[in-house]
Amino acid sequence: MGSYLGILVPILLVALLWLGWRYLSLHRQLNQYTQNLRNASEGVLAPQALPEDVKGLEELSNAVKNLLSSFNFQLATSDADRARLAAVLDQLTDGVIIANPNGYVQFANPAAEKLFGNDLLERSISETLRHHQLIHAWQVSQNNDEMQVETVELPNRHQFLQLIVIPDRFTPGGSLLLVQDLTRVRKLETVRRDFISNISHELRTPLASLKALTETLQDGALSDPEAAPRFLGRMVTEVDALTQMAQELLDLSRIESGQVGLSLNPVEPKKLLQSAAERMRLQAERAGLSLRVECPDDLPRVNADEPRIEQVLVNLIHNAVKFTRPGGEITLLGEAGEGVVRCGVKDTGMGIPAEDVPRIFERFYRVDKSRAGGGTGLGLSISRHLVESHGGQIWAESIEGEGSTFYFTIPSA
């Protein structure tokens, strides 16, 4: 028995020593591996640098390394998606605002900052929107957890805004606010509505006149040797007016679509002004107006389609004659600019109200129905497109009751 104990005790001692050594070895490896994992989580050590052959922990170390690699891949994918989303939001023309459940801005893209000002982060939604109808729409969406749409006009800023509030399904109480600037859309809608109204008015007058003349002839005037020629002459005049309107609409459509080719050649500005003045001089004299040209001889030549620019000048002079009282004066101006020559038609007429100046180049737009006079109302619109097709600009400066000056520029040759 004693011999057995003598053999067993040393074996147990050796086993205990081996187990202790093994425990200490694994403990040291676990501590080192833990430190490596901590370094990898802090970015000091790349996950690929983690050891795969930790003795006794091979499966654990491999599983941890695979988990970290998968996590880093998902993180990189998430960062790429976030970068793409940020690029899209930055380029959006609509304002995007994300609000947290407490009603403070967490995100705002550049379009939103353009509409509501910079440094929107951490501002309250009420402070950001600053309009009771928009704030009310957001509050209703918060209370009902439903999408809300509200459109408002901001008279001081001459803007139409549409707000769409969408509840955040992933963050209770949070919301996404999409703000669209509808100013241009509303302006185009107004132009379209006015165009339809004005063209209907322009067509109605000659058509009503033609109908009345036709009925008069049918009722017996056709056999009257004195009345018949007079009525037929008036019918020809009305048909000519309709024909001119149709032709100008066709010309305008072709110019807007780029179907009218320009033959650009170096032309002396003074020659253009004098040619247009001579064409309109008789009409100005009949209206009791003086017409003169003020243009230096040494102005640089311009690249222009001579008949088209002369058409622009004739249109502007015709308007000046129509809205200037007898005894007034019309002056054609020529001035040098930076890379351009500026031409102008100045009159001493009744002028244009300030609120109407931005719209006078629209088709059929009338400043005052009572002052409409003759014509189709398309001349200024055609002039604008012709000048812009030359690479120039056209605008008007006017003081109501004192007169107007229409300017346009043409690039120098």
Give the β-pairing of 148-154 and 159-167.
Answer: antiparallel
Do 165 and 218 belong together in one domain?
no
Task: State the DSSP string of 142-161.
Answer: HHHTS-EEEEEEEGGGTEEE
Q: C-alpha distances in angstroms, 123 versus 82, 119, 216?
A: 23, 8, 74
Last residue of a domain, one of 256, 273, 292: 256
- SS3 readout for 258-318: CCCCCCCEEECHHHHHHHHHHHHHHHHHHCCCEEEEECCCCCCCEEECHHHHHHHHHHHHH
Do 202 and 79 belong together in one domain?
no
Do 14 and 60 belong together in one domain?
yes
Do 12 and 61 belong together in one domain?
yes
Last residue of a domain, one of 181, 209, 237: 181
| Tokens 């833990």 found at | 34
User: Is the separation of the CB atoms in 254 and 260 below 8 Å?
Assistant: yes
> Chain centroid to CA 22: how far?
75
Q: Mind listing the pLDDT tens digit of every residue in the chain (413 residues)?
A: 556 666 666 666 666 666 666 656 666 766 766 776 666 666 555 555 555 555 556 666 666 667 667 777 777 777 777 778 777 777 788 889 989 998 899 888 888 888 888 888 888 998 888 888 999 999 999 888 899 999 998 877 788 999 999 998 888 888 999 999 998 888 888 777 877 777 777 788 788 888 888 888 888 777 777 778 888 888 888 888 788 778 777 877 777 776 677 788 999 999 999 999 999 999 899 999 999 999 998 899 999 989 899 989 998 998 899 889 999 999 999 999 888 999 999 999 988 888 888 888 877 676 654 444 455 567 888 889 899 989 999 999 999 888 999 999 999 98
Handedness of CA 190, 192, 194, 196 (dihedral sign): negative
Nearest to 191 by CA among 363, 378, 375: 363
For 152, the domain range is 92-181
CATH number at residue 270: 3.30.565.10
Do 275 and 227 belong together in one domain?
no
> What end-to-end distance do the CA atoms of the chain give, in Å?
124
User: Is the separation of the CB atoms in 112 and 164 below 8 Å?
Assistant: no
Helix 58-91 vs helix 2-41: crossing angle, to nearest 10: 10
pTM of the shown model: 0.53
Do 29 and 142 belong together in one domain?
no
Do 25 and 140 belong together in one domain?
no
Do 9 and 78 belong together in one domain?
yes
Do 350 and 403 belong together in one domain?
yes
Do 295 and 392 belong together in one domain?
yes
Nearest to 387 by CA among 323, 356, 341: 341
What phi and psi values does residue 243 have, to the nearest 5 degrees?
Answer: -65, -40
Do 308 and 276 belong together in one domain?
yes
Amino acid at 342: R
CATH number at residue 117: 3.30.450.20
Q: Please give the tally of structural domains in the chain.
A: 4
Last residue of a domain, one of 256, 281, 307: 256
Handedness of CA 203, 208, 209, 214 (dihedral sign): positive
| Tokens 């020529």 found at | 334
Token readout for 94 is 């609509």
Do 367 and 274 belong together in one domain?
yes
CATH number at residue 208: 1.10.287.130
